Structure 1
Amino acid sequence: MGVPFEALLPYAVCIGMFGFSGAALSKIRAMQNGGKRARHSVDQWDRQMMDRDRRLTGFLRGQTDNVKAPAGFELSNPWRLEPGFT
Structure 2
Amino acid sequence: MFAITGAGLSKIRNMQNGGKRPRHSIDQWDRVMMERDRRLTGFLRGQTDNVEAPPGFELNNPWKMEKRFL
TM-score between the two structures when normalised by the length of structure 1: 0.70
Higher relative contact order (CA 8 A, sep 6+): 2
RMSD over aligned CA atoms reads 1.8
- Residues 26-65 of structure 1: pairs in structure 2 closer than 5 A: 26-65=10-49
Identical positions, percent:
78
How many residues end up aligned between the 2 structures?
67
Runs (4 or more) in structure 1 with deviation over 2 Å come to none
**What CA distance in whole angstroms lies between the structure 1 residues aligned with 2:27 and 2:18?**
20
Larger radius of gyration: 1
Instruction: Give unmatched runs, 5+ long, in structure 2.
Output: 66-70
Instruction: Give unmatched runs, 5+ long, in structure 1.
Output: 1-16, 82-86
